[in-house]
Amino acid sequence: MKKRLMIMVGLTVLAASIFAVNPRDMKFPPLEFKPTDPVRFETDNGMVVYFYEYHELPVVMATAYFRGGDVYDPADKIGLASLTAALMRSGGAGTRTPDQVDFDLDFMAASISSSSGSDYLNVGYSSLKKDVAAGFAMYSDIITKPRFDSSKMALEVSNRKEQIRRQNDNPGNVTRRVFYQQVYRGHPYGYFPSLKTIDNITGNDIGSHYARFYAPDNCIMAIAGDLTLKEVKALLKTNFSGWKKTGGKIEPVAKAAPQFKPGVYYAERDINQAQLRLGHLCLDTHHPDRFAMEVLNFALGGGGFTSRIMLEVRTNAGLAYNVGTYLYNRPLTGNLFAYCQTRADAMGQALTKITDIIKEIKQNGITEDEMIMAKESIINSFVFNYDRPDEIANARALLELQGFPPDQLERDMAAYQAVTLEDCRRVATQYLDPEHMVIVITGNEALFDQPMSNFGPVTKVSMDIE
Amino acid sequence: MRIIKSFFASGLILLLAAAAVSAQGELKIPVREFKLNNGLTFLVVERSTAPVFSGYITVGAGSANEKIGDIGTAHLFEHMMFKGSRLVGTSDYEAETKIMASEDSIWARIDNARQELRYMRINEPDRVEAQQKYIGDLQIILDSLAAASSEYVIQNEFDGLYTRNGAAEFNATTGYDFTHYFVSLPSNRLELWFAMEADRLIHPVLREFFPERDVVSEERRLSVENNADSKLFEQLIGTAFIAHPYQIFWEWQSEENNLSRADLEKFHRTYYTPENITVAIVGDVKLDDVKRLAEKYFGPMPVRPKPEPIYTREPEQQGERRVEQVYEANPAVFIAYHKTPFDHPDEPVFGILRRLLAEGRTSRLYKALVIDQQLCLDISIDVFPGNDLGDVHAGVFNIYAYPNDGVTTVQVEEAIYAELDRLATVPVDSVELKKIKNNIEADFIWASYSNIGLAGYISEAHRLAGSWEFIDNFRNSLNGVTSEDIMRVAKHYFTKENRTVATLVPKEQGGEL
């Protein structure tokens, strides 16, 4: 019985392999779809609102974005935006004490989170539909009437200082921090809070930071969920119409000028890997060359397994699990970097492979196959910008916040379509600069296969907690 | 703290997804289920929010099924599944197979020669040099065979086909009792998904084996050896368990480095059987199309015997266990209490306890230790191995705390035990219990927000309990937990005898590195 079964199994397997269509020969037309746009409207006090209606689940999500962010922190008070944002959530609001806010939110399983990014501030909301009236009342209190309770300020300050004390515990975080400090030397993108800058922040600083940035005429709110437009307008009228305009305009911070010194920055940690991050400044969010550069980066190291650095360092050499490049276009000058974590005695080997590939692509550009792979991937995965309601609403709010036209996502697709091999070659020559990179190496030099000085002048970075 | 073995470094973490049911249960997840003749189960949710779908394959085997000596098999096999199949990743499968057979026999000789070398050093020292040269020569042959097979290998083609077809969220993860393979695609690529996944599930080809083994070693270095939390966690569960395979956090390098292709093929034959796999497809698809394609592509998957279950049960712990990990990081204390498997009547109570103690700012441990007493920077709880619906075998209930500067781990421990003791002696009031149940209901609704989260959740429920409807049963059991249950369970399980405490001790500051 058992034997007969085995023979039959053998036959089926054979049959399947003879008649199967090879997936590589399957051709699919481009997906045709027309994304539904969120509705945009403005309130009397100057809020811009995007609303995306969605009724599959009884939930409501919102994000209020504000121009502002960490880049506006004064150099001696780094951490101000982030501390203010945290205190809006934890320091009580309206008639509620901090404990009441916590209890009311937890009891209805709603979430409000307030945080500061480098280039904008945001306050997020989510709840079940049945709780949206109570939830939005609280959301409004947190945004428009935060109390900044002083005991909570002391707690937030102490937590932040503890986080700083622990900032060298994870080698990945060390590598990231040192890279940004060096590549954005002298620019707010390179500033990180220290025990000192946190101690410098006073209650008055928090109050004036809040007053400057959190205003209806500086706010774009994205809402998605199980509501009608009428319900959304009523919710906003009830909860946000008393919020006063300030008329103050938030001007952008100066763009980053290259002040970094190329070379090796060594962060000494007692670990058995070398963690590498190397790169330089690159394009800002609006730069017209960002499409060609995105395609180039895909082939260089941004496209996962189809990229050259991944193929060489991971697939062929087995030197790393997590390796590649990232093109990080930021509003005030972005950056391009390669990253890799490899066993300590392969540091030089891996670093050489990565820099050689960057040099090769700067010299010769990428191949047509590589370009096609990158473009097809970007274009065919476009639909994933539209697969979740909150993403759709948030994406449109962010575009407006960054000064893009409403159909920018569609324009992006056309721009990717139009990228040519010649464009890729040009941006490779123009923007890749393997001879002038900040190279951060975290690890124990006694274990490395080559001296770090093979890759440039070495500066040892202080690991002291200040 | 939830670190998962994945193929890609930026792996999605989906284990906590919960399911979609409305507050009063009027909405039910509209799952359609069918089974092929070979025993393979499909769960389908049709929904057209966007023209995309997620495909999610859950295999009911993972690292807990490995045998001592072959630790790492499940995870390395998961990685090798990205190397393609008979159709994808090769220009000439037959030619490639012959070379791989030669590679395997050379590897077996290297392995053997290394064992001999150890004894030669004692018994025949004059032969050591020749033996080392022999091993070196074999290694050169192995490398040249890899070079020869590269003539036929189409590198990373499996990934490339998905990538150029617009795939998102493409990855796989290995757990103790499961392995997941998942991806999201534009909805008109449904047949591509079937062709790709069926071929690698039925005919995986373990090409480019040796460099991938090194990649997995590097993943361990990154995720465990150079990560303070993981180092401490490895000690915590290694100490809490003495018998059950849940004790091994990650593969050991020594065993990983000696795995062979044959070890992996055996694992595939034993555990990747239709009865042991659940497929979930969620998104803009039609049930009829899924059925037709499932028959066409997965119908030929051969029936194989049901794999043996894991019989090992962890013996009752009868005294506190303590362990230290010295590391270049600030102090932390992790505490583990043995708990129950998914089908034990006390299991839902642990689901309540996790939320009661450490979910949200008003949870008891967070409020007491972080906000009121300011002893900790953060405190959190995990049920381990970590399925929200429970695990096949009895796991542990873990508390992780990070003391503030100047606070000792002993002070933190005492404050935690005081809170646990209070649970065992003072009943939880109805408002607090209602708060937790409100959160459970909300979690069930949010869980089906994304296609991939929902696909993972229903296939996991089926893998765990043999039916996706276990989600509903479990939700009802959670809702049925009373404050008496909480007291009883806290009293029974949160005892000194039943706990293991792991402490991270910082390497001396300012000392020589």
Cα dihedral: A443, A447, A449, A451 (round 10): 70
Out of B88, B215, B360, the one facing A321 most closely (by C-beta) is B215
By residue range, what is the domain housing residue A138? 39-240
pLDDT score of B3? 57
A213 and A326: one domain?
A: no
Q: Which of A240, A273, A303 is the last residue of a domain?
A: A240
pTM of the model: 0.93
A-chain residues near B199 (CB < 8 A): 20, 23
pLDDT on residue B11 = 39
For residue A393, is it within any domain? yes
Q: Flag whether B55 is in a domain.
A: yes
Quick check: is A26 in a domain? no
Measured between beta carbons, which residues in chain B are less than 8 angstroms from residue A130? 23
* Contact pairs from chain A to chain B, CB under 8 Å: 237
Least CB–CB distance from A272: residue in B226, B404, B451: B226
Residues B269 and B185 in one domain: yes
CB contact under 8 A, A12 and B300: yes
Instruction: Give me the helix-helix angle, A80-90 and A203-213, nearest 10°.
Output: 90
Q: Rounded to whole angstroms, what are the CA distances from B54 to A396, B183, B221, B289, B291?
A: 25, 6, 31, 15, 16
Are A267 and A231 within one domain? no
Contact: A273, B82; criterion CB under 8 Å: no
Under an 8 A CB cutoff, do B445 and A57 touch?
yes
Whether B122 and B204 map to the same domain: the answer is no
Domain check: are B68 and B105 in the same one?
Answer: no
| Residue A305 in domain | yes
Residues A151 and A271 in one domain: no
The residue out of B82, B115, B149 marking a domain boundary is: B149
Q: Which among B298, B329, B360 is the end of a domain?
A: B298
Whether B351 and B453 map to the same domain: the answer is: yes
- Per-residue pLDDT at A21: 80
Mean pLDDT of B250-272: 92
B142 and B157 inside one domain: no
Predicted local distance difference test score (pLDDT) of residue A256 = 75
List Cβ neighbours of A317 (8 Å cut-off, separation of 6 or more): A349, A350, A353, B211
A148 and A101, same domain (yes or no): yes
CA B116, B119, B123, B124 torsion: positive or negative? positive
Q: How confident is the model at residue A278 (pLDDT cuts 50, 70, 90)?
A: very high
CA distance B42 to chain A (A): 20
Closest CA to B40 of B472, B471, B463: B463
Q: What is the DSSP letter of A313?
A: I
Alpha carbon B313 to chain centroid, angstroms: 20
Nearest residue of chain B to residue A56 (CA atoms) = B49
Same domain, residue pair B121 and B106: yes
Last residue of a domain, one of A240, A272, A305: A240
**Structural domains counted in chain B:** 3
Which residues in chain A have Cβ-Cβ distances shorter than 8 Å to B156? 305-306, 310-311, 315
Q: Which of A240, A273, A288 is the last residue of a domain?
A: A240
Q: Are both A125 and A274 inside the same structural domain? A: no
Interchain CB distance below 8 Å, B202 and A16: yes
CB distance B435–A322 less than 8 Å? no
Between A445 and B1, the higher pLDDT residue? A445
Residue A377 confidence (pLDDT) above 70: yes
* Pair (B214, B252) in one structural domain: yes
**pLDDT, tens only, A227-272:** 999 999 999 999 999 999 988 889 988 887 878 999 999 999 999 9
What sign results for the dihedral spanned by CA atoms A442, A446, A451, A456?
A: positive
How far CA B74 is from CA of A335, A361, B70, B78, in Å, comes to 38, 37, 9, 6
- Residue A128 falls within a domain, yes or no? yes
Contact B185, B165 (CB under 8 A): yes
The token pair at A230 is 């009428």
Q: With a cut of 60, say whether residue A277 has pLDDT above it.
A: yes
Distance of CA A43 to the CA centre of its chain: 29
> CA of B354 to nearest chain A CA: how many angstroms apart?
14
Position B192 in a domain: yes
Of A23, A108, A382, the CB nearest to B161: A23
Separation of alpha carbons B90 and B83, rounded Å:
10
Residue B318 to chain A, least CA–CA distance (Å): 34
Chain A neighbors of B205, CB-CB under 8 A: none
Same domain, B83 and B223: yes
CA distance B124 to chain A (A): 32
Residue A30 CA to residue A197 CA, distance in Å, equals 52
How far is the first Cα of chain A from the last one, in angstroms, to the nearest whole number?
75
B214/A26 Cβ within 8 A: no
State the pLDDT confidence band at A207, using cuts at 50, 70 and 90: very high
Nearest-by-Cβ selection for A28 from B189, B219, B450: B189
The shortest CB-CB distance from B446 to any of A59, A155, A342 is to A59
Nearest CB neighbour to B449, from listed A57, A310, A384: A57
In whole angstroms, how far apart are CA A375 and each of A34, A327, A355, B60, B488? 20, 16, 24, 37, 60
- With an 8 Å Cβ cutoff, are A273 and B159 in contact? no
Pair (B387, B366) in one structural domain: yes
Instruction: Choose, out of B222, B230, B364, the residue to mutate when testing the contact with A (most A CBs < 10 Å).
Output: B222
Query: For residues B90 and B143, what is the distance between their CA atoms, to the nearest angstrom?
Result: 19
Query: Whole-angstrom Cα distance, residue B143 to residue B381?
Result: 47
pLDDT tier at A175 (50, 70, 90 boundaries)?
A: very high
Query: For all residues of chain A together, what is the average pLDDT?
Result: 93
pLDDT of residue A32: 83
Q: What is the mean pLDDT of residues B101-126?
A: 93
Taking CB atoms and an 8 Å limit, are B377 and A163 in contact across chains?
yes
**3-state SS record for B253-309:** HHHHCCCCHHHHHHHHHHHCCHHHEEEEEEECCCHHHHHHHHHHHHCCCCCCCCCCC
What is the mean pLDDT of the segment spanning B37-54? 95
* Domain boundaries, position B455: 321-506
Residues A100 and A175 in one domain: yes
Q: Is residue B357 part of a domain?
A: yes
* C-alpha pair distances (Å), B454 with each of A59, B35, B53, B212, B271: 16, 19, 11, 31, 24
Considering the domain architecture, whether residues A229 and A276 belong to the same structural domain is answered as: no
Out of A16, A342, A386, whose CB is closest to B218?
A342
Q: Do A155 and B20 touch (CB under 8 A)?
A: no
B211 has pLDDT over 60: yes
pLDDT at position A17 is 46
Chain-chain contact of B216 with A170 (C-beta, under 8 angstroms) = no
Regarding whether B498 and B375 lie in a shared domain, the answer is yes
Domain presence at residue B398:
yes
SS (H, E, C) B109-143: HHHHHHHHHHHHHHHCHHHHHHHHHHHHHHHHHHH
By Cβ distance, the residue of A15, A24, A102 closest to B161 is: A24
- Examine the pLDDT at B20 and tell me if it is beyond 70: no
Q: Residue A162: pLDDT above 90? A: yes
Question: Looking at chain A, which residue has its C-alpha nearest residue B226?
Answer: A271
Kindly determine whether residue B196 and residue A23, on different chains, have CB atoms separated by under 8 Å. yes
What is the mean predicted confidence (pLDDT) over A99-125?
97
pLDDT given for residue A20 in this prediction: 65
To the nearest whole angstrom, how far is the Cα of B497 from the nearest Cα of chain A? Answer: 32
Select from B149, B173, B194 the last residue of a domain.
Answer: B149
- The mean pLDDT of chain B is 92
Domain count, chain A: 2
Instruction: Say if residue A211 is in the same domain as residue A267.
Output: no
Report whether pLDDT(B18) > 70: no
How close A319 gets to chain B, by Cα (Å)? 6
Judge if B261 and B285 occupy the same domain. yes
* pLDDT classification of B338: cutoffs 50, 70, 90: very high
Question: At A320, which amino acid appears?
Answer: A
pLDDT at B19 exceeding the cut of 80? no
Asked if the structure places residue B8 within a domain, the reply is no
Q: Which residues of B354-378 are buried (b: 16+ CB within 10 A; e: fewer)?
A: bbbbbbbbbbbbbbbbbbeeebbbb
pLDDT mean over B481-492 = 97
DSSP state of A260: P
Q: Are residues B385 and B444 located together in one domain of the fold?
A: yes
**Looking at A2-11, A193-202, A262-271, which range is the least confident one?**
A2-11
Q: Do A380 and B186 touch (CB under 8 A)?
A: yes
Of B226, B302, B439, the CB nearest to A271: B226
Query: In which band, very low, low, confident or very high, does the pLDDT at B9 lie, cut at 50, 70 and 90?
Result: low
Whether B337 is in a domain gets the answer yes
Q: Let me know whether A278 and A177 are in one domain.
A: no
Q: Is residue A14 part of a domain?
A: no
pLDDT, residue A33, reads 82
Nearest C-alpha neighbor of B74 from the set B200, B215, B208, B174? B174
Q: CA B215 to CA A191: how far, in whole Å?
A: 34
Is A183 found in the same domain as A225?
A: yes
* A278 shares its domain with A208: no
Question: Which chain B residues touch A271 with a CB distance below 8 Å?
Answer: 225-226, 328
Q: Which two tokens stand for residue B5?
A: 């073995």
CATH number where A72 lies? 3.30.830.10
Q: Do B49 and A56 touch (CB under 8 A)?
A: yes
Residue A4 pLDDT > 90: no
Radius of gyration of chain B (CA): 25
Min Cα distance A341 → chain B (Å) is: 7
User: Contact B163/A319, CB-based, under 8 Å?
Assistant: no
Taking phi first (over 0 means left), then psi (-120 to 50 degrees means alpha), and beta for anything else, what does residue B304 get? beta
- Asked if pLDDT for residue A136 goes beyond 70, the answer is yes
In a domain, B10, yes or no: no
Burial class of A464 by CB neighbour count within 10 A (0 to 12, 13 to 18, 19+) = exposed
Nearest-by-CA chain A residue for B376 = A159
Taking residues B31-59, report their average pLDDT: 96
- Does residue B511 have a pLDDT over 80? no
Strands A219-225 and A59-67: antiparallel
Q: How much is the pLDDT for A258?
A: 74
Task: Reply yes or no on whether the pLDDT at B25 is more than 70.
Answer: no
Please tell me which residue of chain B has the smallest CA distance to A89: B361
Residue B22 belongs to a domain: no
pLDDT digits over B170-205, tens only? 999 999 999 999 999 999 999 999 999 999 999 999
Q: Is the pLDDT of residue B383 over 80?
A: yes
Judging contacts by C-beta atoms under 8 Å, the chain B residues touching residue A127 are 442
Residues A311 and A431 in one domain: yes
The rounded radius of gyration (Å) of the Cα atoms in chain A is 26
